[in-house]
Chains A and B, each alone.
Chain A
Amino acid sequence: MLPTPSTSHVDPNRIYEPAEDSYLLLDTLSSTNETNFLKHHFGQSGTQSRNAPTPSPIVLEVGTGSGVILAFVTANAEAIFGRPDVLALGTDVNNFACQATKQTVLQTCEGFARDMPSGLRRSPSESTGLLLATLGADLASPIRGGMIDVLIFNPPYVPSAGVPDIKGNTLDSEPAPDDAKSRAESYERDSRLLALSYEGGVDGMEVINRLLEQLPQVLNRDKGVAYILLCQQNRPEETMQRIYNWVGDWYVEVVGRSGNVAGWEKLCIIRIWKG
């Protein structure tokens, strides 16, 4: 089993901490089934000349939160994709999450390179993927069309009365003066940031649907892959049926499930890909 990145620097009052859903994504992405799929999909083909460059996969995690998933995928690129040369991007509407993610990814990759057996030890650029940037952004809105090979999304999926407004907020992380009024304001802001990480509106599907709309545009047109976590209240079967009906050769399959049927959160992970 691949080690879970440390997120001890993450402030749980304003950033979603790794939880059951995050761990299900880690387990799924590192499962034999998915690593075989990804190695086949993005591996350096054995039939080509060793000299021929094979384009590095670009991985985008949308809504990184603590950065635990992006760090895991970037540091373990070789185990997951069969090649370490993966380029990683992350977005989040919460500036604290963007900062935390950067730290999580960088320290996980450095630790990974440092902890390799000395005979195998290489610099981080040879043994892990590379973080390009974490961006303050709504979903994948600033990403150029067709650029993303693998998109990962652990969405706000909990059904709620509405989705908090992301406008004009969240990227301003200046420390406020320490008086009662500003303490109340920063408490309110932090509550809203946390709510943004889990409140999904009607059926928990409002944010997921917006991402699904962007997906065909943002993914690599020949071989893009997306992993999206859904809960039972999102009615995953209906969502999958909708994706089957997209124009073009799209496939969708459940590739991970939480074992706990009795828990109120029954989770699954769907893989959407271009055949």
Chain B
Amino acid sequence: MKILTVNFLTCAVKACKTSPLSFPLHFRDAELEQSDIGYNPSFLRNILPRVDWEALKVTATELGFTTVPSEKPNLDPAPSNTDLPAPETAMETSEPDVADEKVMRDLHTLLLETEVREGKMVCGNCGHEYKIKEGIANFLLPSHLGR
């Protein structure tokens, strides 16, 4: 299960859906493994608009990743790019900032290359633990928590 996944998940218990505490789920005892996915900046640029940044920061901190910037990288080109093409902005896009590249590569590693193999995810509202075994999280609820 890739780390990015948890940004799209919430507690499976119906009553928790309306609680802000049910997102993001919190990793406990997570065993991570790295897979090798070719770095593809354009894919990453299209993924970032889908990411809830505050939740990602919580997840990253819990897993010990310290390089996530406090603000989501701004990938929208400045309006001047299309309205008034200025030579300076053209220079910027052809030679990307080295720091940005580093940020993007770290995000690539965290979001797309890091997998959770074993561990659990815990709901901050009801405390239910969802186990992860061999990379597959189990969201089936015991009968007393029902559908």
Contact = CB atoms under 8 A, between A and B. Distances in A.
B126 interface: no
Contact of A144 (B4, B10, B47, B135): B10
A93, A124, A142: residue with the most chain B Cβ atoms closer than 10 Å: A142
B137 A124 contact: no
Nearest to B131: A171
B82 interface: yes
Contacts of A167: 140-143
Interface stretch (A50-58, A68-76, A227-235, A241-249): A50-58
Contact of B77 (A52, A135, A169, A171): A52
Contacts of A123: 37-38, 40
B9 A53 contact: no
B82 A49 contact: yes
B5 to A, nearest CB: 4
B43 A126 contact: yes
Interface residues of B, number: 43
A170 B142 CA distance: 12
Interface string A128-157: 001111111110011111010000000000
B139 A135 contact: yes
B67 interface: no
B8 interface: yes
Interface in B1-24: 1-2, 4-5, 8-12, 17, 23
B42 interface: yes
Contacts of A210: 147
Interface of B: 1-2, 4-5, 8-12, 17, 23, 37-40, 42-43, 45-50, 75-77, 81-82, 93, 112, 130, 133-143, 147
Given A132-B1, A133-B137, 14 more contacts: A52-B77, A56-B50, A89-B8, A99-B134, A124-B37, A132-B2, A135-B9, A136-B136, A138-B147, A141-B12, A141-B147, A145-B17, A170-B140, A217-B17
25 contacts: A51-B75, A51-B81, A53-B48, A56-B43, A58-B50, A85-B40, A85-B43, A99-B134, A99-B136, A102-B135, A122-B38, A123-B38, A125-B37, A132-B4, A133-B2, A133-B5, A133-B137, A134-B136, A135-B137, A137-B140, A138-B12, A138-B147, A142-B12, A145-B17, A167-B141
